[in-house]
Copies of this chain bind each other. A is one copy, B any other.
Amino acid sequence: MIKWVYIEDISKYVDQEVTIKGWMYNKRSSSKIHFLQLRDGTGFIQAIMEKERFDDELFKKVKKLKIETSMIITGRVRKEDRAPGGYEIDVTSIETVQEPIEDYPISKKEHGVDFLMEHRHLWIRSKKQWAIMKIRNEVVKAIRDFFYESKFVLIDSPILTGSIGESAGNLFDIDYFDLGKAYLSQTGQLYLEAAIQSFGKVYCFGPTFRAEKSKTRRHLTEFWMVEAEVAYYRHKDNMKLQEELVVYTVNRTLKNAQPYLEILGRDTTKLLTVKTPFPRISYSEAIDILKEAGKDAKWGDDIGGDEETIISQKFDRPVMVYNYPKDIKAFYMQLNPENDREVLCDDMLAPEGYGEIIGGSERIWKYEVLLKRIEENNLPLDAYRWYLDIRKWGAVPHSGFGMGIERLVAWITGIKHIREAIPFPRTIYRIYP
């Protein structure tokens, strides 16, 4: 039997006869030859079907095949320097698996975003979407390898939770048997803070939910986030860890995902600059930058998406903005001992206008201080009982951060909207497919 091989391995089979199982994504024909463009999920290749080798009926049938026909072809692999991938196949036999019932709805012409999103289950077959997901695959693996090699322990935090995390609004809730409401988690951080007392260095990496009505190109209602937490790490250790993670991930992606970045036309010179150390500026300096840029910004204001764009465009690599006013940040952040209006936190803004990809901070680790902050913020003490508990027995200084995967992928791939950085995006208008 002739061997079934994947296109990505084709270079190992030059001058051999192999079988490819895939789909026809394009074709052109002369009177004597069909040029079939095939893909099989791992790559693309041109298959040459010469009229003289086949009976007339089959040759005519292939001429009429619609794009997206699934097919199994067998043929001899030939090195062909003029071909995009460097190889071609001379077809010896061809079998159509399924011919489309109708014309494929996604054509080469421009489609509106709504149409493409409605057909996301088909749109992901397009070369660009394929390349983005191949890069996402590399990015996620790089992140997991980074943490594993750095001896972090994976602690999968729960999605269903009675506790609240960052902000009481913007939560999806469900009826949970006889226990009342449960919420879809906005962060695994609180659970990681419990886990560091057992494991020292931990991370979680899973879907996260925000019932926000934000409609920007940086928001999804469901997105993936990796969060890390380390016992005995202070603010500076935390910032160093973030930097190392991003450099590792970008380097790995540049190394392993080059062909996919090329498909996207990504200017990778913009990623080659991503080296340590990243610039660090204080929140106060960031406000000054905004003022200089003519923005009506003053100390105490939050830094939104547009402002992040202005700041991040001033640097050739991610910039870390540290020590924000405590009033615009979460209750659990450690106060700056040198300025009690500030907290020891940082946001990392990706360059080229991409903005925030990471938010991190040193956490309050003293029982009484945290209790006071929970009360000041009118948070439900009962839900936070276990979170306070952590500070009763062997509390330690600790720090951590969260990184949004779709924002990271959007920056690395150079796409505009994060909805293309996740296989099946969820926005306030979209729960289908």
Contacts and interface: CB of A to CB of B under 8 A. Distances in A.
Contacts of A379: none
B153 A394 contact: no
A162 interface: yes
A104 B386 contact: no
Interface residues of A, number: 97
Contact of A431 (B101, B182, B397): B182
Interface string A32-70: 000000001110000000000000000000000010111
A302 interface: no
Contacts of A144: 141, 144
B174 A429 contact: no
A160 interface: yes
Contacts of A133: 153, 155, 198-199
B125 A198 contact: yes
Contacts of A119: 386, 389
Number of copies: 2
A114 interface: no
A42 B151 contact: yes
A158 B21 contact: no
Contacts of A424: 157-158, 191
A219 to B, nearest CB: 13
A375 to B, nearest CB: 18
B68 A393 contact: yes
Contacts of A315: none
A197 B392 contact: no
Nearest to A158: B424
A200 interface: yes
Given A41-B200, A395-B98, A174 B179 contact: no
A121 B392 CA distance: 12
Given A68-B394, A136-B154, A155-B423, A197 B23 contact: yes
B432 A162 contact: yes
Nearest to A176: B431
Contacts of A206: 206-207
A305 to B, nearest CB: 21
Interface string A347-365: 0000000000000000001
A196 interface: yes
A119 B121 CA distance: 43
Nearest to A193: B121
B179 A429 contact: yes
Nearest to A224: B156
Contact of A396 (B97, B122, B153): B97
Contacts of A194: 121-122, 124, 433
A130 interface: yes
Contacts of A431: 160-162, 176, 179, 182
A250 to B, nearest CB: 18
A392 B100 contact: yes
13 contacts: A41-B153, A42-B200, A98-B391, A104-B393, A121-B386, A130-B198, A133-B198, A156-B224, A160-B221, A172-B176, A179-B431, A195-B423, A383-B432
Interface of A: 4, 6, 8, 21-23, 40-42, 66, 68-70, 72, 97-98, 100-102, 104, 119, 121-122, 124-125, 129-130, 133-134, 136-137, 140-141, 144, 148, 151, 153-163, 172-174, 176-177, 179, 182, 184, 191, 194-201, 206-207, 209, 211, 213, 221-222, 224, 231-232, 365, 367, 383, 386-387, 389-397, 422-424, 426, 428-429, 431-433
